[in-house]
Amino acid sequence: MSIQHTLLARQPIFDKDLNISAYELLFRSDMNNQASFLDGDSATSQVMLNAFNELDIEEVVQHHPAYINFTRNLILNPPPFDRKRYVIEVLETVEVDDELIRHLQALKDSGYTIALDDFVYDSRWDPVLRIADIVKLDVLALDQNALHAHVQTLKPFKVQLLAEKVETHEMFHACKELGFTLFQGYFLSRPEHIKGRKVPASKLVVMNLLAQIQNPDAELAEIAGVIAKDPVLSVKLIRLVNSAAFSARREITSLQHAVSLLGLRQVKSWATLLSLSSMADKPHALSLHTMTRAKMCQLIAERFASPAESDAYFTSGLLSNLDAFFDMELPDILTTMPLSRDVMDGLLTGQGRIGLILASVIANERANWDAIDWQRLKELNVGEQEFEKAYLDSIRWSGEMQTAVGND
């Protein structure tokens, strides 16, 4: 079999304080241009091994553990992975018998962490539950009564509970009250609406700042003047330019010097990013996620657009998560900003190339590769290999930036 390429997506797993606890890694091979998820046979096992040989997984997950789906065949014939870095996710479709239990116990004894994926209780799983460390419950598949019943049933097994497919902040809080300590889903990238709560003055200041920064008619000196009014933003921008992420030949000691070095387009992007990362009531994971999305949009755009045009894609990626930062609906926020029509259409209606790239990047975040219009991307000189390279480069870059802006 000829392996052409492997698509990878990482999905964060959070602890109860919304810090990243681990990442789940999902793969898809592009054999015969079909969406072929790993099914555990020898061919797809080789796809996984090839991916780990080609990638620096340390760059993908940093210091966090990596959850990987294991089917029966992979459990019986485990690849040579670092047992301290990987969590084995036992798929719900595996057949539970003495052979499976024996191999899982051997993996546990050798130091692997065992998680049960998409778990629905049945007494046949009891021997596995005595081995498992973590149980993942799909909160969309279980109603409130069933979820509560599962929590009670699992208590005697002393397993850690992971709520997956958490879509809202309300569900996150409800699961936390039930005793879940790990959470996976897209709730962090969505606004948290609390009835009667007004936008804090500190967020209004940031929103006003972003509106001034994003003014397409603003000159460099005007942007510098806006930044200078915020001492924290000024210091962060200077620190950023002096970081290892930039190759300044000599130390930058003033805001004016930093601004002149970056230029108008980059100053707008960096000031926006730094303003969002300074919002103390939001977890660092949201800033990291937003930076990764923005950079991937820009890197893909560089395949068919000029540097000036690709900056608009970076900005669109940043702004696409504003609703999560401000806990407001995105249209209500964007109407306060003098954005270009292309950016506005891409963000609100998904139209144009910006809409296409943004939708593709978000689909990739969710490992929903079948939702990506690969034909339209190919017409823009973006194939699966270029797409995946942009994703991995954006992960690497966002990690460096997270350190540079002081959110490591």
- Tell me the per-residue pLDDT of 333-352, one tens digit each, with 9 for 90 and over: 998 888 889 999 999 999 99
Shared domain check, 163 and 207: no
**pLDDT grade for 243, boundaries at 50, 70 and 90:** confident
More confident residue, 243 or 67: 67
Quote the CA–CA distance of 216 and 339 in Å, as a whole number: 7
Shared domain check, 363 and 309: yes
pLDDT at 2: 42
The average pLDDT across 79-85 equals: 81
CATH of the domain at 274: 1.10.3210.10
Shared domain check, 316 and 223: yes
Quote the CA–CA distance of 67 and 69 in Å, as a whole number: 7
User: Is the per-residue pLDDT at 248 higher than 80?
Assistant: no
Domain span at residue 320?
202-404
**pLDDT grade for 28, boundaries at 50, 70 and 90:** confident
pLDDT at 295: 95
Shared domain check, 152 and 36: yes
pLDDT at 33: 39
**pLDDT grade for 322, boundaries at 50, 70 and 90:** very high
Shared domain check, 245 and 103: no
More confident residue, 320 or 250: 320
User: Is the per-residue pLDDT at 404 higher than 90?
Assistant: no
The residue out of 189, 210, 245 marking a domain boundary is 189
DSSP element (H, E) containing 184: strand 182-184
Residue 197 lies in a domain: no
How many domains does one find in the chain?
2
Shared domain check, 122 and 232: no
The average pLDDT across 256-267 equals: 83
Quote the CA–CA distance of 234 and 226 in Å, as a whole number: 10
Shared domain check, 227 and 122: no
User: Is the per-residue pLDDT at 47 higher than 60?
Assistant: no
Residue 196 lies in a domain: no
Shared domain check, 244 and 170: no
User: Is the per-residue pLDDT at 269 higher than 90?
Assistant: no
pLDDT at 252: 79
More confident residue, 56 or 143: 143
Quote the CA–CA distance of 280 and 302 in Å, as a whole number: 33
Shared domain check, 382 and 248: yes
Shared domain check, 382 and 329: yes
Quote the CA–CA distance of 89 and 94 in Å, as a whole number: 11
pLDDT at 36: 40
The residue out of 189, 217, 235 marking a domain boundary is 189
Quote the CA–CA distance of 81 and 108 in Å, as a whole number: 13
Shared domain check, 219 and 139: no
Residue 228 lies in a domain: yes
Residue 1 lies in a domain: no
What phi, psi does 304 have (nearest 5°)?
Answer: -140, -5
What are the residues whose beta carbons fall under 8 Å from the beta carbon of 386, sequence distance 6 or more? 300, 303
User: Is the per-residue pLDDT at 160 higher than 90?
Assistant: yes
The model's pTM? 0.88
CATH of the domain at 24: 3.20.20.450
Could you report the per-residue pLDDT of 92-107, keeping only the tens digit for each?
Answer: 889 999 999 999 999 9
Residue 389 lies in a domain: yes
- Name which of 73, 62, 12 is nearest 39 in CA terms: 73
Mean pLDDT, the chain, integer = 86
The residue out of 165, 189, 213 marking a domain boundary is 189
Q: What is the amino acid identity at position 262?
A: L
Residue 195 lies in a domain: no
Residue 28 lies in a domain: yes
Residue 123 lies in a domain: yes
Shared domain check, 150 and 44: yes
Residue 100 token pair: 């499976």
Quote the CA–CA distance of 324 and 330 in Å, as a whole number: 9
**Range in 1-15, 16-30, 102-116, 145-159 with the lowest mean pLDDT:** 1-15
**pLDDT grade for 55, boundaries at 50, 70 and 90:** low
